[in-house]
Amino acid sequence: MKILVTGGAGFLGSHLCTELLKQDHEVICLDNFYTGSKQNVSHLLSHPNFELIRHDVTFPIFLEIEGIFNLACPASPKHYQSNPVQTLKTSVHGAINLLGLAKRTGAKILQASTSEVYGDPRISPQIEEYWGNVNPIGIRSCYDEGKRAAETLFMDYYRQHQVDIRIARIFNTYGPRMAIDDGRVVSNFIVQALMGKDITIYGDGNQTRSFCYVSDLVDGLIRLFFNETTIGPINLGNPTPIPIKDLASEILQLTNSTSKIVFEQLPSDDPIMREPNIDKARQILNWEPSIDRQQGLMKTVEYFKNTIIR
């Protein structure tokens, strides 16, 4: 297939582009480089089936394609809160433009949604049928509500125009090519540990997250995209939660760091627990993560060691 990957030069998008090329698809990588990087796809530039386009999805684009993975949106709080209006536009206008493209070309389109649609959940683990607990006027709302609105648009294009959609709800993902300064907890802790700086935990560290290694997540996205029995939404993530303070301790051990753990105030609307129920992914996609956390963290530490030294 000829497949468009928006946000394709980002952390997750670049791994997706690489895997799609391995599976002999033609890939058009589209990115405005707000948080993505040309360096992430530099190893693909000479590939005969790869094309890179600089473009912002808030503006229409006209291409002839057969499939779309819509990953365009900053995913870390640091970046999406720095320009909240543009974040919301990226989710909403971007969805409208890409769904219009899919409608015109007859392409299949997958929306990379997020566990943030569940907000600060009152149930755990989170199932796809849970409607969430989201503050519509908080500092995270530009991302949370933007992704919720995008899911609404996808479902309405499916019902009204019979567009062939898929919706993936992605939980915390980590691995090589995460940006050093993206503000996400795994990259923050590893970089702080390797540089001998204090490891900063916001809140008391008892809040939980579930971390999925990037290759597992990409596998889940591709399985959902090509599955013909479901449109989703489907949770994709690691179902094993860990308290943030325990993650910090693990990373200190893996890096042999002498950094100290310090605690600061928890930001507004930061969820206390994040844990996916992946029963649907197991049953429908025959998918579950295969890389355990220690193995994935070791690979990620090695990446950051080489990045910081370089």
- Catalytic residue ranges: 143
Rounded to the nearest 10°, the torsion over CA 2, 7, 9, 13 is -70
User: What is the end-to-end Cα distance of the chain in Å, rounded?
Assistant: 37
Burial group, residue 185, by CB count within 10 angstroms (0-12, 13-18, 19+): buried
Q: Strand 208-210 vs strand 241-243: parallel, antiparallel, or unpaired?
A: antiparallel
Answer whether the bond into residue 125 is a cis peptide, omega within 30°. Answer: yes
Report d(CA 305, CA 268) in Å as an integer.
Answer: 32
Q: Could you tell me if 16 and 5 are in contact, meaning their C-beta atoms sit under 8 angstroms apart?
A: yes
Q: Where are the alpha helices (DSSP H) in 52-184?
A: 77-80, 84-105, 141-161
Residue 303 vs residues 35, 107, 164: alpha-carbon distances, Å: 18, 35, 37
Q: Residue 58 carries which DSSP code?
A: T
Q: Where are the alpha helices (DSSP H) in 132-289?
A: 141-161, 185-194, 214-226, 244-255, 279-285
Single-letter amino acid code for the residue at 271: P
Burial group, residue 200, by CB count within 10 angstroms (0-12, 13-18, 19+): middle
Six-digit token string for 290: 């295969």
Q: Could you tell me if 130 and 280 are in contact, meaning their C-beta atoms sit under 8 angstroms apart?
A: no
